[in-house]
């Protein structure tokens, strides 16, 4: 016959019962965790909306920056890129064409010593060398010994190769940004010293002075690859002669930068034209930023009653209505414009669909306005009373870091999440105590069962002793 204890152990209800009881009591914690998940989802959605609004506001601010000239962009081209290349136009005010003839490029100054025997010591015979070297506005004094002590402490003369190598290293150490020096092995035993300025032009030429010892001989017999008087670039723009120490030119024509590539002596053209493609791209960028913001908000505030689906921010009416308000603002006219001039976005071909999407309804009209009346287009985007400026201000009110609407809403989510975290923590403490209490109760039950088993065994033993 099985005892009560055996039955309990066979079914092993102890841990199962505890876990079931704990699970039942965990429903409150699960409910809090679900609520926290919803608040986190809303906070994530707020972040996405804030990012989209920020991009929209930034797109307007870029269009309103006068330095960018978004509706009067200019692009420059060269008639021969192998001769001269033009950098992106930054501050040029109007289209223009310039004729340029390049007669000479700016060169790095290079000085070469005479070729000499590397193993010879004839330079050392002239004694230690000192010299002052000037490159650009930097002057350094250099000293090079003509002898050295060998491993036995005996003074030995340096070879020409060693002397030129030491001289090169000294120059590299002192003129790392201004010059490069080398001792070249020309052929066999022959060596030659070379020093080159790292910047072009006459002002960055290499100048030796005060040379003594073997350095007097090395420098006195050196020759320039390019004569001093020919280190600067020479070019002509529209008949005006220029001389510059660099091939990158940014001070000949105000607002225009270009690079001299080849001295052909032939006339080339630098043409600066209005960049209609860039102007249209700037407008399209504004429209794209608005639509991204509109789509982001709609995706997070939608209500689909038929499918019983809702966006995480569907209960935030102010967010849901933002794009509607911006669309209505976008239809407004600029005050004070002259008769016949564009005062609305619709008058340059930009309109809205029913779902709030902004689009170019009349591409030909927009192209015409950007081509022939760019100032009117610019006014619609930059005037302080324009619809676009008002849209910017409305959108910025949502993301203002100090008192913006989204910041206030997000703070509310943070507070709710914090309260839920506290409730979840309290529930976890309660469940820990509850689980401990249940185990203690089952332990007490087990003790009662054990006691019953003992009493049952005594009775059975007594009966057996009586012959039952």
CA angle 185, 189, 192 (to 5 degrees): 40
- DSSP-assigned letter for residue 114: P
- Give Cα separations from 278 to 32, 74, 297, 453 (angstroms): 53, 8, 29, 94
Backbone angles phi, psi at 188, to 5 degrees: 55, -120
In Å, how far are 56, 342, 439, 445, 451 from 378, measured between CA atoms? Answer: 17, 10, 77, 86, 95
How far apart CA 103 and CA 121 sit, in angstroms, is 45
Pick the residue with more confidence: 53 or 464? 53
Q: How far is CA 307 from CA 42, 45, 128, 161, 316, in A?
A: 20, 21, 95, 88, 20
Confidence class for position 291, pLDDT limits 50, 70, 90: very high
For 75-84, how does the pLDDT look when each residue is reduced to its tens digit (9 = 90+)? 889 999 999 9
102 vs 74: which has the higher pLDDT: 102
pLDDT top residue among 38 and 64: 64
Distance in angstroms (rounded) separating the CA atoms of residues 266 and 103 = 8
Task: Give the C-alpha distances (Å, rounded to integers) separating 318 from 184, 328, 380, 390.
Answer: 76, 15, 26, 17
**191: how many CB neighbours lie within 10 A of its CB?**
24
Tell how far CA 392 is from the center of its chain. 24
Apex 91 CA angle, 90 and 92, nearest 5: 105
- DSSP state letters, 135-149: ETTEEEEEEE-SEEE
3-state secondary structure at position 36:
helix
Tell me if 344 sits within 8 A of 333, measured CB to CB: yes
Q: What is the dihedral of CA 248, 251, 255, 260, to 10 degrees?
A: -30
For the chain, the first-to-last Cα distance in angstroms comes to 15
Mean pLDDT of the 46-67 span: 92
Can you point out the beta strands (E) in 160-226? 179-187, 190-200, 206-212, 223-224
Which pLDDT value is given to residue 312? Answer: 86
Paired tokens of 374: 């760019």
Kindly state the tokens that stand for 461. Answer: 């033993």
Q: How much is the pLDDT for 269? A: 95
Q: Categorize the per-residue pLDDT at 309 as very low, low, confident or very high, splitting at 50, 70 and 90.
A: confident
Strands 267-274 and 108-112: unpaired
Assigned token pair, 249: 């030119």
Element (H, E) at 369: helix 363-372
Task: Of 337, 273, 259, 336, give the one whose Cα is nearest residue 84.
Answer: 259
Cβ-based burial of 231 (10 A; exposed 0-12, middle 13-18, buried ≥19)? buried
Whole-angstrom distance, CA of residue 139 vs CA of residue 406: 61
Give 152 or 306, the one with higher predicted confidence: 152
pLDDT digits (tens, 9 = 90+) for 178-211: 999 999 999 999 999 999 999 999 999 999 999 9
- pLDDT band at 87; cut points 50, 70, 90: confident
Rounded Cα–Cα distance for residues 384 and 140 (Å):
58
Q: Hey, which bits of 248-405 come out as E strands?
A: 248-253, 256-260, 267-274, 303-304, 309-310, 350-352, 358-360
pLDDT in tens, 89-104: 666 778 889 999 999 9
Reply yes or no on whether the pLDDT at 388 is more than 70: yes
Averaged over 345-357, what is the pLDDT?
A: 93
Count other Cβ atoms within 10 Å, centred on residue 262: 14
pLDDT value, residue 73: 84
| Pairwise pLDDT comparison (92 vs 324), residue with the higher score | 324
pLDDT digits (tens, 9 = 90+) for 257-269: 999 999 999 999 9
Per the listing, tokens 């010994």 go with 145
Range 156-160 contact pairs with CB under 8 angstroms and sequence separation of 24 or more: 157/121, 157/124, 157/125, 158/121, 158/123, 158/124, 159/118, 159/119, 159/120, 159/121, 159/124, 160/116, 160/117, 160/118, 160/119, 160/120, 160/121, 160/122, 160/123, 160/124, 160/191
The contacts of residue 275 (CB under 8 Å, 6+ apart) are 73, 74, 75
Measure Cα distances from 403 to 248, 390, 396, 410 in Å: 49, 18, 11, 11
Task: Select from 173, 175, 180 the least CA-distant residue to 137.
Answer: 175
The dihedral built from the CA positions of residue 244, 245, 248 and 251, taken in this order, carries a sign that is negative
pLDDT tens for residues 402-413? 677 888 887 888
């Amino acid at each position: 016959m099985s005892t009560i204890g055996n039955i309990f152990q066979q079914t092993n209800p102890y841990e199962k019962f505890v876990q079931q009881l704990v699970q039942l009591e965990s429903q409150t914690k699960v409910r809090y965790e679900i609520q926290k998940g919803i608040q986190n989802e809303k906070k994530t959605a707020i972040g996405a909306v804030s990012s989209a609004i920020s991009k929209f506001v930034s797109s307007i601010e870029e269009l309103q920056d006068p330095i960018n000239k978004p509706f009067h962009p200019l692009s420059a081209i060269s008639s021969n890129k192998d001769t001269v290349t033009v950098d992106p136009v930054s501050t040029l005010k109007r289209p223009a064409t310039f004729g340029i003839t390049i007669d000479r490029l700016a060169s790095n100054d290079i000085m070469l010593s005479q070729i000499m025997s590397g193993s010879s010591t004839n330079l050392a015979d002239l004694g230690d060398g000192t010299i002052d070297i000037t490159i650009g506005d930097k002057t350094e004094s250099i000293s090079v010994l003509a002898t050295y002590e060998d491993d036995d402490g005996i003074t030995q003369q340096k070879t020409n190769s060693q002397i030129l190598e030491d001289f090169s290293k000294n120059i590299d150490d002192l003129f790392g940004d201004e010059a490069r020096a080398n001792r070249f092995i020309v052929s066999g035993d022959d060596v030659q010293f070379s020093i080159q300025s790292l910047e072009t032009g006459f002002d960055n030429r290499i100048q030796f002075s005060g040379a003594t010892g073997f350095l007097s001989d090395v420098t006195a017999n050196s020759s320039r690859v390019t004569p001093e008087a020919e280190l600067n670039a020479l070019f002509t723009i529209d008949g005006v002669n220029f001389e510059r120490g660099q091939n990158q030119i940014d001070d000949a024509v105000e607002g225009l930068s270009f690079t001299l590539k080849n001295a052909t002596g032939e006339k080339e053209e630098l043409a600066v034209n209005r960049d209609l493609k860039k102007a249209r791209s700037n407008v399209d960028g504004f429209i794209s930023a608005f639509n991204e913001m509109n789509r982001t908000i709609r995706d997070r505030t939608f209500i689909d009653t038929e499918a019983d689906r809702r966006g995480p921010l569907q209960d935030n009416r102010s967010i849901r209505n933002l794009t509607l308000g911006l669309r209505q603002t976008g239809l407004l006219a600029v005050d004070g414009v002259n008769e016949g001039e564009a005062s609305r976005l619709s008058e340059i071909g930009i309109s809205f669909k029913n779902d709030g999407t902004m689009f170019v309804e009349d591409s030909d009209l927009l192209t015409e306005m950007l081509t022939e009346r760019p100032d009117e287009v610019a006014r619609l985007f930059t005037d302080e009373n324009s619809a676009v400026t008002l849209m910017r201000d409305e959108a910025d009110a949502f993301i203002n870091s100090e008192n913006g609407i989204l910041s206030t809403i997000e703070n509310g989510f943070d507070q709710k999440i914090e309260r839920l975290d506290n409730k979840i923590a309290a529930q976890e403490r309660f469940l820990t105590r509850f689980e401990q209490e249940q185990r203690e109760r089952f332990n007490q039950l087990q003790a009662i069962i054990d006691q019953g088993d003992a009493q049952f065994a005594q009775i059975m033993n007594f009966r057996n002793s009586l012959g039952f």
